[in-house]
Structure 1
Amino acid sequence: MIHTNPIRPIDHLVLPAASLEVARARLGALGFTVAPTGVHPFGTENACVYFADGTFLEPLAVGDAQGADAAVSAGNVFIARDRLFRLSHGDEGFSALVFGTADAASDHADFRARGVSAGDMLSFSRDFVGPDGKSDTASFRLAFATAGHTGDAFSFTCERINVPELDRSALQAHANGATRLVAVTATGTGPGEWLELIAPIAGVEARVAEHSIRTANATVEVLDGSVFADRFDLAAPDGPFRLAAITFGVESLAAAEAMLREAAILHHRIGDRLVVPPAPGQGAAFAFEENS
């Protein structure tokens, strides 16, 4: 196994949605501040949720079906993998774990050398609009990795080529008190195999005995169905491997719970964790833990 990469942070998480409007309403009801719509040049659009630790959620919808068709025909891996996920699991879910990188081209060469490349790199730009209406151009370069035992889930590294110089502080302030990403939880058989794929992308050693890795900013874990059920008091998603839950750190668990209760959001408490089951516009279970 190659371990020449620096330890990378999780950059963002991709959450396919049938409707961006439904996703925006759901995330807003959960107490998240949702950014203005971002339009990709290949048929998809997003409404991101940004956190103070630099991570973000990317709810993703197809806004231009013809544009997406053309992108798939042109070999766009991002759109092709999104389509594969939707064909297998529907238009709601959690499809991709994304790591930050300073050199996507080197990552792509590494993935090809290890036989885990999912296809050609992707470079693109899109407009970024801040909460004050000011806009700038954001540019990215992506390198994709996958393996047969990860099913329809995939991973890629994201190099931020141009980061808009806009004030995101308002976008990072959330009514539920969320400030950071704590953990990503997947379910499936053979967790060690998936961790063996993800660990080199994250630049770390897989803690196979613990079924987890520790990235630069959060934990990634793979649990079997029964352990997942005990942890979250929810049934595990169907299938041999699924990205299933996201845990956020909040300033006050009591305040977050009060907000969910006032918004009439279905949730339950298990130990020191609040859990919100998946719903339309929220493709994974969400959990909230108090920052230590």
Structure 2
Amino acid sequence: MTDRPTTGTHPLDHLVLPTGSLEVARARLAALGFVVAPTGIHPFGTENCCVFLADGTYLEPLAIGNEQAAIDATAAGNVFVARDRLYRDSRGDEGFSAVVLGTDNADTDHARFVDAGLSAGDTLSFSRAFTDTSGKSDTASFKLAFAATRGAPDAFLFACQRINAPKVDRAALQAHANGASGILEVVAVSDQPTEQSRLVSVAVNDPADAKDGAFLLPNATLSVLDPKSFTARFGIPAGSSTKLRFAAIVFAVRSIDAASSLLAANAIQHDIAGADIVVRPASGQGAAFIFREIQ
């Protein structure tokens, strides 16, 4: 499992991808060759169906399971649910709202965010049940600290402290037919990439200047590109104007040929950009998925 230090640059933990329907997300992700975990229920109205990767990172497709509970949670100051609603009001129910960093002390991160004027609100502690594919259950407990730029509803970041990590076997959940083994890079788009770099720098706990907009985390790269650079790199539109929006995920796969064959067999439209396979966003897949062969 990925280490989650308080000091030094934080590692990537997971990515939050809002969706209007977990059923649609589950079907889309399965067609892309991913194994999707059983539905997880949060105690504040949201629910997920995660995709776990062998490098310890994961995707969290997120839907509203109980609208009234989500409304009540927002009114009570739950930043996670409030930011999800803010994103959906701005971008719709399908997308990529948050990058989550690993930490072993969310309170320390919260204090840093407050000092920097980038806190998105109070910390959040919660627990939920977790079940693996064999039916074995455990309880997962977390504490979150949130960072965001004012007036930027399309993206936020948060530090996630795992108070109790489920002791369940995820091997079956990580055996993806497309050969994906981890996340190499997360790519954001911004009309003001230099200005947004401060938010990312504080969130990932890296005071160094990003090189060409890229922050080197211990286990992945987090890049912030202007729209023109994004389109030039991946061959797809960057979308409408935004202060900051997470737009693409680059996955490591064992074989580009095998991944391409699977996508073709499942009637998933895809393009080739250099050595990458590019799959544009779709319902249930809120970001561009890029598959890259790693030897």
TM-score (norm 2): 0.95
SS in 2 for 1:186: strand
The match for 2:66 is 64
Maintained 8 Å contact 1:195/1:212 = no
The match for 1:258 is 261
The answer to which of 193-202 and 134-143 deviates more is: 193-202
1:12-161 matches, cutoff 5 A: 12-148=14-150, 150-161=152-163
How far apart, CA to CA, are the structure 2 residues paired with 1:150 and 1:181?
25
RMSD of equivalent CA atoms: 1.2
Q: CA deviation at 1:200?
A: 2.6
Maintained 8 Å contact 1:196/1:206 = no
How far apart, CA to CA, are the structure 1 residues paired with 2:95 and 2:278?
17
How far apart, CA to CA, are the structure 2 residues paired with 1:6 and 1:208?
15
Maintained 8 Å contact 2:112/2:202 = no
The match for 1:286 is 289
Q: CA deviation at 1:203?
A: 2.4
The match for 1:237 is 239
Q: CA deviation at 1:8?
A: 1.1
TM-score (norm 1): 0.96
Name stretches of at least 5 consecutive residues in structure 1 with no aligned partner: none
How far apart, CA to CA, are the structure 1 residues paired with 2:287 and 2:208?
24
2:183 to 172, 181, 184: 181
Maintained 8 Å contact 1:176/1:255 = yes
How far apart, CA to CA, are the structure 2 residues paired with 1:84 and 1:274?
31
SS in 2 for 1:171: helix
1:218-229 matches, cutoff 5 A: 218-229=220-231
Q: CA deviation at 1:204?
A: 2.1
How far apart, CA to CA, are the structure 2 residues paired with 1:31 and 1:115?
41
1:46 maps to a residue whose letter is N
Aligned length: 289
Q: CA deviation at 1:209?
A: 4.8
Matched, 1:269 2:272: yes
Name stretches of at least 5 consecutive residues in structure 2 with no aligned partner: 1-5
